[in-house]
Amino acid sequence: MAAIVGAIIGIIGSLLGACLPLIWAVRYNRFQGELEKHDQFLMWLRGIIPECEYIVVCVDELATPFVDTMAGRILACATKRLNSDFLEAARLGILKHPRGANVFLPLTTAYRNVTHTNEMMDRAEQELARARGSQNPHAIIGGIFGSTIASLNVTRGSLTDLIALLREQEQLTVDHPPQFALFSFPAVRSCSCNFDRAGEA
């Protein structure tokens, strides 16, 4: 009996000796993939934050002629447009990252607001061209210019919220890099359920 037990233990030891290097190699390759995705996400965050901040600066600059025109000081509008192409590319790029879902919705909101604001500025520029030479151009363009200013404010707010979220995600990513472990097990999530009890109000 002792011989049988010893043989079994020997077989198990041999199997473990053969399997452990393979398990280590598989786990290490997986860790390398996780580390690469982590670094790519962090690099993506650090690239998009300054670009979003620059768009906010552009919003403030583009809003100035609209505000001044509404105040009656000048008769002009912005001829430049916000960089919606960058935000569109960022939306597609974030899909590659597992944690991208955390920022996809605010990023999409900012992109849609920027796109809509560009369209509003196009309409405002066309309306201004038609109003020039009229007796009261400010009265003609008042509606579209007021709406464009409101759109610029909404866009600025969504970009500011997006930047705050991106900075939060950047810090979380820095603070929680992937950890190598030979054996990893999924975390057990606790679930608290509330059941309606008969007789309770």
- CA distance readout (Å), 122 to 78, 126, 144: 9, 6, 10
Q: What is the model's pLDDT at position 199?
A: 43
Q: Is residue 101 part of a domain?
A: yes
184 or 98: which leads in pLDDT = 98
Q: How far apart are CA 107 and CA 10, in angstroms?
A: 58
- pLDDT of 62-97, one tens digit each? 999 999 999 988 999 988 999 999 999 998 888 878
Q: In this structure, what token pair is assigned to residue 191?
A: 């679930």
Which range (5-19, 105-119, 170-184) has the least confidence?
5-19
Q: In this structure, what token pair is assigned to residue 115?
A: 């796109």
Q: Is residue 118 part of a domain?
A: yes
**Domain residue limits at 124:** 37-175
Q: How far apart are CA 173 and CA 39, in angstroms?
A: 9
Q: In this structure, what token pair is assigned to residue 29?
A: 């390759």
User: Would you say 104 and 95 are in contact if contact means Cβ atoms under 8 Å apart?
Assistant: yes
- pLDDT of 21-52, one tens digit each? 766 676 767 777 778 888 888 888 998 999 99
Q: What is the model's pLDDT at position 94?
A: 84
160 or 135: which leads in pLDDT = 160
- The stretch 171-184 carries a mean pLDDT of 78
Please indicate, yes or no, whether the overall pTM of this predicted structure exceeds 0.85.
no
Q: What is the model's pLDDT at position 187?
A: 45
Q: What is the model's pLDDT at position 117?
A: 97
Asked whether the predicted pLDDT for residue 59 surpasses 70, the reply is yes
Report the 10 Å Cβ neighbour count for 190. Answer: 4
Q: Is residue 16 part of a domain?
A: no
Report the 10 Å Cβ neighbour count for 6. Answer: 10
15 or 38: which leads in pLDDT = 38
Q: Is residue 166 part of a domain?
A: yes
Q: Is residue 21 part of a domain?
A: no
The per-residue b/e assignment along 8-31, b for 16 or more CB within 10 angstroms, e otherwise, is: eeeeeeeeeeeeeeeeeeeeeeeb
Q: In this structure, what token pair is assigned to residue 195?
A: 């059941």
Q: What is the model's pLDDT at position 97?
A: 81
Q: Is residue 196 part of a domain?
A: no
Quick one: how far is CA 73 from the chain centroid?
39
Quick one: how far is CA 20 from the chain centroid?
40
Q: What is the model's pLDDT at position 4?
A: 66
Q: Is residue 165 part of a domain?
A: yes
Q: In whole numbers, what is the pLDDT of the chain averaged over residues?
A: 83
Count of structural domains, the chain = 1
Q: How far apart are CA 125 and CA 123, in angstroms?
A: 5
Q: How far apart are CA 70 and CA 144, in angstroms?
A: 10
Q: Is residue 192 part of a domain?
A: no
